[in-house]
Structure 1
Amino acid sequence: MRDDLRDLLNAVETKRDQLNKLATCKELTSEEVVTSSWELDKLLNEVNSLANEKSKKL
């Protein structure tokens, strides 16, 4: 996987972990956490798809 894709993937996973910690502290509503997690999962899927396309071309 290219370094830029790996860095993006790590950043997204870090953000998701931060959201989970905030939810534990009750600073976000459950709906906000679910929505944010869904959006991050969607982004992770896009990153993985892009990475897979790039690796198939190599």
Structure 2
Amino acid sequence: MKGIEEVLLEIEKLRSELYRLINSKGNLMDKDVVKVSQELDRVLNEYRKLIKNSIDNE
């Protein structure tokens, strides 16, 4: 499993890519925008689980 810092870097990378795609495509329903958005959701869920596990293990 990835560490918190690694996941945070991936989140920032995906956010930047999502902003770039939204600006270039101009359509939130574009397949590339949706794909990156879904990937960002997946990574955010992974981050949430890491944080929860970190808190539970304290």
CA RMSD of aligned residues (A): 2.1
After TM superposition, the score normalised by the length of structure 1 is 0.64
Aligned pair count reads: 53
Amino acid at match of 2:8: L
Residues 7-43 of structure 1 deviation map (CA, whole Å, 9 limit, x = unaligned): 52244134223322222122xx711111111111111
Q: Distance in 1 between matches of 2:14 and 2:36?
A: 10
Return the alpha-carbon distance in structure 2 between the equivalents of residues 37 and 24 of structure 1: 14
Any idea what SS the aligned residue of 1:25 has?
helix
What is the alpha-carbon distance in structure 1 between the residues aligned to residue 22 and residue 44 of structure 2? 20
Q: Indicate the percent of aligned positions where both proteins have the same amino acid.
A: 30
For structure 2, list consecutive stretches of 5 or more residues without a partner in the other structure.
none
Runs of 4+ residues deviating >4 angstroms: none
TM-score normalised by structure 2 residue count: 0.64
How far apart, in 1, do the equivalents of 2:45 and 2:33 lie? 18
